[in-house]
Every structure is written in structure tokens, then in C-alpha cells.
Structure 1
Amino acid sequence: MTHRPVVALTDCADANAQARQAARIAALFGSTPDILPLSGPDPEGVAALTLLDLLRSVDLTGGPTHPLVVLVNIAPRDGHWPNGAPFCWFEYRGHLVVSSWNQRVLAPLAAHLGVTEVRLTDVREVVEAAAGQWAEFTAEQVEEIVRTQFRSLWYVPLLAHWLVAGHPVPGHPQALAAPPRAEQESPRIAVIDNFGNCKLDVPAAELPGYAEGGTIAVRSRRDDRTVPVRCYDRLPDVPYGEPGFTTGSSGVGFAELVVRGGSAAELFALRQGDRVLSRG
């Protein structure tokens, strides 16, 4: 039995789905996983920032850490793949990540953590290799795993378990590129925290016009007007009750739109996935 702490990000977020996945992961890894449901209007944006934060959070520990397993199930629903996007894997500083092949979710890792390549897997190729070498599956069981649409339950935990155990899992190199410049220049709200702070998906230093004491125009969805919002170094520097842009706690110095003592999301009627900068 391989014991490793497991964190799972998934858009299969109902209690039944979480319970099934938790039971399967616990049986394979011998530890109870932390399952983080992704919901809201833009789960891809939440997944991208959360995955980046998870991998950043294991830095600056002052010593060795326990290697993590991070599972990410957030497939693009664009109809491009016949049975959903394939899954890939990579390692970051000894931590294993198994994820849907979703370029929007993974691209920030190329831009900010230097992850430039993943190993793309084919379900049939992997499960048939396992059945022929290290797993006890009948031909019927192989076919069941290959054909199911519930691959995040039946395939992904197995893939991670086999990789941790050191089995020769077949995979094919796939380059990972940073987000297009157009995306970086038109940032979106990735996460709205429980205080109503709006975490953007770019570093504060990359916001057009960002500088301490400067202002950035925000488009309020509440009344469709443009509001100049001043930039500050930290949240405590923002005057009480007023909005401001600051360098937040997520990503690599990512920007946050805040209201000190209030909710920026409520003030401007913003949601996850909104593009907040006014273009005039």
C-alpha cells in the first residue's frame, strides 16, 4: 500500500460524487483525501488559480516536505473529444499532479512555475499495459474502465496510484505554453473569497497602469459605469470602506480587487469569470 496525501480538485461536486471518489482514493492510497469541489460560473478559472496556489503553498517550508498527489478533474466541455479530454501528469518538486488536459487550467503553471511539458495518456493504452504487467484485470474490466464516461472516478485514481508505485505507465510528451498575451492583458476574476475580495488571474505588476498611487478603471456590472480604483501595496493601506487594487495572497503576487471592510464583489456586482478592466 502506498501512503501519500491526496488533494483532489473536481467539478463533479455533489455529495454522492465526492463520497465515491473519496472511498476509491482512500482504498488505493491508504489516506483520506481532501476533495475540493469546483462550482460557480467559471470552474476552469477557479481550478487554474487553485492549482497554482496548491503548488506554491508547498514552497518556503524551511525543510523537507511530504510529496503530495494532486488530482484535477476539470475538462473543457467543448465537444472536441469523443469521450472527454485526455488526462496528463507531471511532477513539480517531487509532487505528482494528474490533470485533465485543459490548457486554460495548466497554462499558468508554464508562465509562473516553469512547467513546460506534461505526459499525455491514453486510457486504453495505459489500462491495457497495466493489465498485461502489474494489475489484475480481465478483458471485460479493461473495457469497462476504457469505455466509461466517469473516468475521473475509475481511471484517474488508478493512474496516480500506478505512477506513485513506480510502474512504467505509458505517456506521450505534450508541450505546455503560457497563456496568450490577449488573455493576460484582459484579466478575469478567478476566485471570489469569503470576504468578497476578487482574485484576478494575473500578477498585479502586469495590470495595465498598476503602480502604487495610480488608478485603474473598473467596469461595474451593477450600473454599467466606469469607476477609477486606486492601487495600493497591501490591503491595510486601503482606506476603510473604499475599493482598491492590491497585491494579494494568491499566485505569484496576483492582483486583488478589494474593499477594505467590505465586499468588492458586492460593490461592483462581480462574479467569477468577469473581466473587470474597463477598455474605455
Structure 2
Amino acid sequence: MTHPPVISLTDCADPNAVARQSARIAALFGATPSVLPLTGPDPEGVAALTLLDLLRATDLVGGPTHPVVVLVNIAPRDGSWPNGAPFCYFRHKQHLVISTLNPRVLAPLSTYLKLTEVQVTDVREVVETAAAEWAELSPAEAEEIGRTQFRSLWYVPLLARWLVDGRPVPARPHVVGGPDQRAVGAETAGAVRVAVVDNFGNCKLDRPVAAIPGHRAAAGLSVHSARDGRRIQVRCYDRLPDVPYGEPGITTGSSGLGFAELVVRGGSAAELFGLREGDRVLHPTG
């Protein structure tokens, strides 16, 4: 049986953790996964945009596609869960996504891909069910996986394999876009933040250009410079080639569905403005 390729987004990203996860997924799926370490100042924001981009990257192909499996391990570290946030799963078209139940990571999928529901799993329930019905796990092994703190290593790859194999994994539906996601939306409604800084220093923002108030204003938008605390007027352009060389601009970038990017043509917006992932950048003129 040929298994789909696996892509993993994780903030457990030191070399030891990446090596162990890669070996475990390779043993279960027969191929080395693509592991994307998220080690910056705002891994939740990076994961949210990257997950949206991964699923969007499967569109516009002009024909049939092959399924992929995406694993997301970005747990909210707020102490709300006794052993970390639970893991959920959902399918986007033919693709399987397993993620920590993280409202901020899932919110863009609700908004832009119309995700309405995920299936939430309980580690112990799933492992004990598997041990009783299809997995060759002793009671001691099931107990070890059920109580471990390191669930992204021991549990999530197994969950992915069992779901790919069509096993009857117990889970409970959870509405996406409910109170948790609305709270995230209300908290960030007025804040346009840097989601990802790419290798060119372009700052990918966390929403479409069209959703930013004042983006059509001739004076442009007021960008906060973390370097010196000033607000700098930056004009909006359709594409990067339209930005005058050496000057900053806000363009429609490659991420999301028309998401904005703060750029400097021929330079680095992150360096010019002193920005990092998670920083608030835009103050619309009014």
C-alpha cells in the first residue's frame, strides 16, 4: 500500500526532536516526512498562515491531485489543559490535517476555507480502542502512550497512520468558528500583524489587502516602525514590480487569498522597519 506524503509543522524543532519525529513518521509511512520547524517569536501566527498556504497550494493544478497528510503541533501554552491541548483532525478535499486544537491556528481556515467542524480526539481513548481492536500494543505500551507528555512524537504519527488506513478512530465533533475562534477574531480585528518573514525580508501580513481599512487611500497606510517607534506612510501597489526600486510598499503577496505583504523592492522590509513575526504593523489612516 502506498501512503501519502507527510508534512509536519512543529514548534518542537530542535535537531533531536526533528530527527526522532522524522524517524517515527518514516517507519509508519515508508518515506521521510517534510518537517518544518517553527522556532520564531510567534509560532502560532506562522503556523496559521503556513497551514492555510499548504492547503491553498493544492489548488489551481488543472487536474487530479494526490492526497497529503499535514501534521500541526503548535499547542497554546496557557495552562488550560491538564496535559496540553487535545489533537483534532479534519479533511480538506482529499487531504488529511491533524492539529492541536488551537483557535488561532484554525481561525484562518474557518474564515477563508469555510472550515466549520473538526473531530477532537482523546489520546487515551484512541490508544486503548486501537489496542483492543486493531493495533498490536500491549496494555503497558498503550498506557505509556496514553499518559505521555510527548504526544506529538508518540501519538500524532500513530493517529495519522490509523486515519489514513481508515480505522474507526473515536472522536467528537467540535465547531470551528465558535466562541473560541470569535474571541480570537475580536482580539485581532484591529491589529494587522506580521505572520511570516520570508528569506527576502518581505513581511507577509495576516489578512488580505482588501480587508485592510484604508488600503485604497492615496496617502497609503500608516506602518509602525519597531526600529524607532515612528509611523511611516506606505503606499499600496498591486504587485512587487510596481513598487519603486528601493522604496517600501504594501502589495498583494503570494500567501493566503490575496494576503498583503510589506516589502521593500530590492531590500528587506523586516530590516528597514525592525519587524519580527507577531509584530503589529498597520495603523490605517482615517
TM category (shorter chain) comes to over 0.9
> 1:31: Cα distance to partner?
1.4
SS at match of 2:283: coil
Correspondence for 2:281: 276
SS at match of 1:119: strand
The 2-side partners of 1:264 and 1:276 are apart by 11
Correspondence for 1:190: 195
CA contact (8 A) 2:251 2:261 kept: yes
Residues 124-139 of structure 1 aligned to structure 2 (within 5 Å): 124-139=124-139
CA contact (8 A) 1:212 1:232 kept: no
Find out whether 1:249 has 2:277 as its counterpart. Answer: no
Correspondence for 2:230: 225
SS at match of 2:47: helix
CA contact (8 A) 1:187 1:277 kept: yes
Deviations 1:26-81 (A, max 9, x none): 11111110000001100000000000000000001111111000000000101111
Unpaired runs of at least 5, structure 1: none
> 1:213: Cα distance to partner?
4.4
> 1:190: Cα distance to partner?
0.5
Find out whether 1:266 has 2:271 as its counterpart. Answer: yes
Amino acid at match of 1:19: A
Unpaired runs of at least 5, structure 2: none
Identity %: 69
User: What is the RMSD computed on CA atoms of the aligned residues?
Assistant: 1.3
CA contact (8 A) 2:202 2:269 kept: yes
CA contact (8 A) 1:6 1:70 kept: yes
CA contact (8 A) 1:188 1:201 kept: yes
CA contact (8 A) 2:219 2:233 kept: no
Q: Out of 72-81 and 170-179, give the one that drifted further.
A: 170-179
Q: Out of 205-214 and 86-95, give the one that drifted further.
A: 205-214
The 1-side partners of 2:66 and 2:233 are apart by 45
Q: 1:114 to 1:279 in 2, by over 3 A?
A: closer
Correspondence for 1:211: 216
SS at match of 1:174: strand
The 1-side partners of 2:247 and 2:217 are apart by 15
> 1:279: Cα distance to partner?
6.8
> 1:208: Cα distance to partner?
1.3
Deviations 1:164-185 (A, max 9, x none): 0000000000011155144133
The 1-side partners of 2:103 and 2:65 are apart by 28
Find out whether 1:49 has 2:65 as its counterpart. Answer: no
Find out whether 1:103 has 2:108 as its counterpart. Answer: no
User: How many residue pairs align between the two structures?
Assistant: 280
Q: 1:239 to 1:212 in 2, by over 3 A?
A: farther
Amino acid at match of 1:151: R
Deviations 1:124-170 (A, max 9, x none): 11001101100011111111001111000000000010000000000
> 1:250: Cα distance to partner?
0.3
Deviations 1:168-222 (A, max 9, x none): 0000000111551441331110000011100001011011101274500011111
Find out whether 1:143 has 2:143 as its counterpart. Answer: yes
Q: Runs (4+) of structure 1 moved beyond 4 Å? A: none
TM-score scaled by length of structure 1:
0.97
Amino acid at match of 2:86: P
Q: 1:279 to 1:214 in 2, by over 3 A?
A: closer
Amino acid at match of 1:210: H
The 2-side partners of 1:212 and 1:55 are apart by 32
Find out whether 1:71 has 2:71 as its counterpart. Answer: yes
CA contact (8 A) 1:2 1:28 kept: no
CA contact (8 A) 1:2 1:164 kept: no
SS at match of 1:129: helix
